[in-house]
Amino acid sequence: MRIAVFDSKRYDRNALNAANHAGYTFEFFDDRLNRSTVPLAAGFDAVCPFVNDRVDAATLGELHRLGVRHVALRCAGFNGVDITAAAQLGIAVTRVPAYSPEAVAEHVFALLLTLSRKTHRAYNRVREANFSLDGLVGFNLNGRTFGVVGAGKIGRAAIKIANGFGMRVLAYDRAPDPQEEALLGCRFVPLPELLASADIVSLHAPLFPETRHMINAASLATMKPGAVIINTSRGGLIDSSALLDALKNGRLGGVGLDVYEYEEGVFFEDLSGSAVQDDVLARLTTFPNVVITSHQGFLTDEALANIAQTVMRNLADFAAGRPLLNAVTP
C-alpha cells in the first residue's frame, strides 16, 4: 500500500518510518493537502494529512477520482475534513483520538507556570546580565481555582495535575457525570459558573459550530478580573479579536496559547525571515503576559510514537477490510 503523507516534518517521518512494520510505502510531502496540492496524491491508495490540511468536498472529489479511498488523519481533530462528502464518496476517514493526553495536559502547565512565575521574562533578563527581581512577582497555583472546559481524556489529565498543585478544580462538560466527581477530584458546573469562578480557564473542547468562539466578548466579560486563559485545544474556540481587546483593557491577567484560530500557514513554519502578516497575532506577541507556542502540545517522543502506531493500525485495518475502530462518520 502506498500512502502520501502531507504537511510532514522530520519528526513525522521518523515516527512513521519507525512504526512501519507492515512495509507500506510512504512518500512525504511538505505541502498541506488542499485543492491546489491534491494532484500529488495521484497513484496512492491513502493520504495522511495533519490538523491544518483542508480536505473539503472538492479535494475529496479529486481524491476519489485519483483512486484514494482512505484519509488517515494523524491527529484527533477532524474539522478540516468534510465528513459528509467523504461518506457520500465512499472514502473512509480515520483519526487518532488519543495519543498522549498527558503530553498536552503537561503543556498546559508549562504555559501556566511560565505566566504565573514570569520565567520567560526572567530568562531573557538573566541572559542580559540583569538579575533584578523587579516586576517578576508571580502567584501561587496552590489554592487557586482551575476551570477545565471539556472533561475528556486531556481535560482529565489536566485535572489530575491541577489536583497535584493543590488547586480547587471546576469542570464543564457536555455530558457530565456527577458520580465521577470524587474520582476525578473536581466539581462539575455549568459553563457560566466556571467562567465566573475560575482563576485559570483551560480549554479542552473540540471545535464544532456550537463551540466556535465560545470564548468571546460576552463570555470574557463574565470572567474574574485578572483570570488566565490557556488554550491547547483548538484555536477557533476563542474569538481572537475579543481576546485582544480583553488584554488591552486589562481584563485578563494572562493568556497561554498553543493554538490560534488563524494558525494555518503560520504555525509549524519558520517565518523568521519575514514579517507576520496577521495583525492580531502580531499584536498578541507584544504583550508581556501572553505566551504563545506553535501547536507543540503533542510534541513528545511518547505522543509521536503513539500517533504513528495508531495511524499504522488504522491503515492496516482498512487494507484488511476490518472494522475501523477510529473511523469518523457523519
Judge whether residue 117 has pLDDT over 90. yes
**Is the pTM of the predicted complex or chain greater than 0.75?**
yes
Catalogue all structural domains in the chain, each as residue range(s) with its CATH number: 2-99+301-320 (3.40.50.720), 101-292 (3.40.50.720)
Mean pLDDT over residues 213-230, rounded? Answer: 98
Q: What is the pLDDT of residue 273?
A: 83
Q: What is the pLDDT of residue 272?
A: 87
Judge whether residue 270 has pLDDT over 90. no
Among the listed residues 54, 70, 144, 234, the single catalytic one is 234
pLDDT tens string 57-95: 999 999 999 999 999 999 988 989 999 999 999 999 999
Among the listed residues 74, 144, 295, 313, the single catalytic one is 295
Mean pLDDT over residues 155-160, rounded? Answer: 97
Judge whether residue 178 has pLDDT over 90. no
Among the listed residues 70, 156, 168, 263, the single catalytic one is 263
Q: What is the pLDDT of residue 16?
A: 97
Mean pLDDT over residues 202-230, rounded? Answer: 96
261 has catalytic annotation: no
Q: What does the alpha-carbon distance between residue 247 and residue 283 come to, in Å, rounded to a whole number?
A: 10
234 has catalytic annotation: yes
pLDDT tens string 5-58: 999 999 999 999 999 999 999 999 999 999 999 999 999 999 999 988 999 999
10 has catalytic annotation: no
Q: What is the pLDDT of residue 111?
A: 98
